[in-house]
Amino acid sequence: MLLSVLSLWCSSLLVSVSGAGAPEEEMKMEVLHKPFICHRKSKNGDLLLLHHEAYFENGTLLLSSRTIGDKQPVWFTLGIREGIKGWDLGLRDMCAGEQRKLVIPPSLAYGEEGKGKIPPKTTLTFKIELVEIRNGPRSHESFQEMDLNDDWRLSKQEVKEYLKKEFERHGHPPNDTLHEEMANDIFTREDKNKDGFISSREFTYKHDEL
């Protein structure tokens, strides 16, 4: 949870997607496997644990979470442009255990410029297996957990308490100076109307940002 909070609140970690202004091409989505039982479907703000494989249009494998790093599935927050736009659009209403194929045009991926090993104007095919869905840090439940006095807004002190708890939960010693800095950073970004509180409206992800 800590990492997702950090990535949510530190925009520098977000992958920027170029290609704005290019004509919007359609993304193709195909369900490869649908589990028989589906307790909940993914929605914006959820944390998704998933395996992903990316292929170029000629079928060459670009990367696979099953072979890189620790070969574990990765966490991804849906609907906040944490990755490419195509993922935010293509991984909604998905069940744990479901497998999808997404064919994502450059305008919803890495755009006119490409990125790293991805050349400009590349259409990418992803095979995604969703392993698990959890409440994301932007969920109603997370807000309630952070709002200690139930007044439907977060004070700087409540945010600092939350950061402290998250640090402890992950085995890091609390660090007042760091929490103060992080809270200041969060308020600069999130307290849109500058009233010194983050309202539930300011906190909750807004769907029309996509």
Report the interface residues with Ca ion, using CB under 5 A: 147, 149, 151, 191, 193, 195, 197
Distances (CA, A) of 25 to 50, 82, 107: 25, 20, 7
CB closer to Ca ion, 126 vs 162: 162
User: From the CB of 108, what's the least distance to Ca ion, in Å?
Assistant: 32
CB closer to Ca ion, 195 vs 209: 195
User: From the CB of 102, what's the least distance to Ca ion, in Å?
Assistant: 36
CB closer to Ca ion, 52 vs 160: 160
CB closer to Ca ion, 16 vs 200: 200
User: From the CB of 55, what's the least distance to Ca ion, in Å?
Assistant: 44
CB closer to Ca ion, 25 vs 202: 202
Consecutive H or E run containing 210: none
Exposure string over 95-117, b if 16+ CB within 10 A, otherwise e: bbebbbbbbbbbbbbbbeebbee
User: From the CB of 154, what's the least distance to Ca ion, in Å?
Assistant: 6
Closest CA to 132 of 7, 42, 68: 42
Closest CA to 198 of 180, 209, 181, 186: 186
C-alpha–C-alpha distance, residues 156 and 31, integer Å: 43
User: From the CB of 79, what's the least distance to Ca ion, in Å?
Assistant: 21
List, as one string, the DSSP characters of 143-155: HHHH-TT-SSEE-
